Amino acid sequence: MRLVRMSAAAVLVASVATAVAPHATNYISTSAVVNAPLVSVYSPFEGIVETPSLGPARTIHAGDYAFELRKARNESAGLRALKSEMTSLSGEISSLKMQRERLDALRETLLERRKHQIAVRGQWYETRLLEAQAELSGAEGALHRIQAAYDRAALLAAKDRLSESELIEAQGELAEARAVVSGREATLKRLELERDFLAEGDVLDTSTNDIEAIEYRLDEIAVRTAELDAQLMTRQTRREALYREISGMEIEQTKNDAFRPKSATDGIVWESSPPAGANVTTGEQVVQILDCTRRFLEFELPERHFERITPGTEVSVRLKGAESSFTGQIFAAYGGGSRPNRNMQAAQPRITTPNGLRVIVTIPMADVSDQTVARAFCDVGRSAEVRMKLPSGSIAKEWMGRAQDMARALFGRGGQQTDSTPEEEIAANIGPARQPEIN
């Protein structure tokens, strides 16, 4: 019986050595998945998609515009008040300009009427001057006759051939004739004076008040026009100030109404935006970009190796289905109780055991300009095999210790034979074996 046990132990040790040989110096994981962070862009306001993003699996470079949103037009109360005041001022200015135009038209009419009346009055003065001159000549002729009659009467009176009453009557007729001549001369001078004023553009109307009334109307129009000009200037100045203020506020509002985010990294469009013209709400996700510059993969490692994980350690990575492998670097290791942010990752790692270490390995960035890479989303989601070198002898010692435990189980504790079956002894000494390879 003892010989049988020794033979069985030898066979078991050989089997264990054969199975452990590939893992003596390496830890191999076949459950790793290529992953990368997702960059989500959200709408800061309610608006409309002006320019949509590129479609899924399309390349976007750092600095490129991802999309463009236009805020739904909703003017502020201040801007509406300014525009209302602007409209009111524009209406007042139009009304004042209309009054100004009417006054200008009335002024032109009055000036034309004044010009016509002056022309007619000039012709009347010429005719009236001829009449006055004729009247003056007639009065002077009558004065000469009466003067001659008075001289004869005075001569006869001196010879006592004419009575004194007749002489007095002759003197009265002479005085009346001289008064008539003086009146005719005054009338002629007045007409000449009015004609001269009329020729110089002035009016000295002593007969009618038509032209003078026109002058009064023209003066009133000039005063009213000056008042309108002052009001127009005030309102136009205010309107210009309002126009500049409204323009500034509209420019500022236009800047705030437009949202054109730029991509911060080279990547691939994971989820495209809604089409042009679609409405978006505040906080709604518009586009998601796969950041291919920060690709990584994650695999599980037993917690007993925690002290042996050093950031920066190189590992060998081969994508399943690929012929060649490439080098990655260990970035960090999370404990089994940690809760990584899965919402920022595009793929779901195949890690189901919460008691192991989650090891993060960074891998080289992908060439997003390659259409094949873009269509494959930078290989995100593909399974990979990770081979990591552990310190020399760490795994070998562990498996040798397990072999010794199994040998003791077969030969008995402390070298003494036991009545327990080999299966019971193995279970009592080492418990269920844990495989280092993760599938």
The sheet with strand 279-280 has its strands ordered as 258-259, 68-71, 47-51, 279-280
Alpha-carbon distances, residue 151 vs 155, 164, 166, 348 (angstroms): 6, 14, 12, 151
Q: What CATH number has the domain spanning 78-239?
A: 1.10.287.2610
Q: What is the DSSP letter of 31?
A: E
d(CA 394, CA 391) in angstroms, rounded, equals 6
What is the number of helices (H) and of strands (E) in the chain? 7, 14
pLDDT in tens, 20-79: 544 455 667 777 888 899 999 999 888 889 899 999 999 999 999 999 988 876 656 777
Question: pLDDT per position in the chain (439 positions), as tens?
Answer: 556 566 665 556 555 544 554 445 566 777 788 889 999 999 988 888 989 999 999 999 999 999 998 887 665 677 788 888 888 989 999 999 999 899 999 989 988 888 887 787 778 878 888 888 888 888 888 889 888 888 888 888 888 877 888 888 888 888 888 898 899 888 888 888 877 877 765 555 555 567 778 788 888 989 999 998 999 999 899 989 988 888 887 777 766 778 889 998 899 999 999 999 899 988 999 999 999 998 998 888 777 777 777 888 888 899 888 888 899 998 888 776 666 666 667 777 766 656 677 888 999 888 888 888 888 899 898 888 888 876 655 555 555 555 555 555 555 544 443 444 444 444 444 444 333 343 3
102-137: pLDDT as tens digits: 999 998 998 888 888 778 777 887 888 888 888 888
- Determine the Cα angle at 408 with ends 403 and 412, to 5°: 160
The angle formed by the CA atoms of residues 193, 178 and 131, to the nearest 5 degrees, is 45
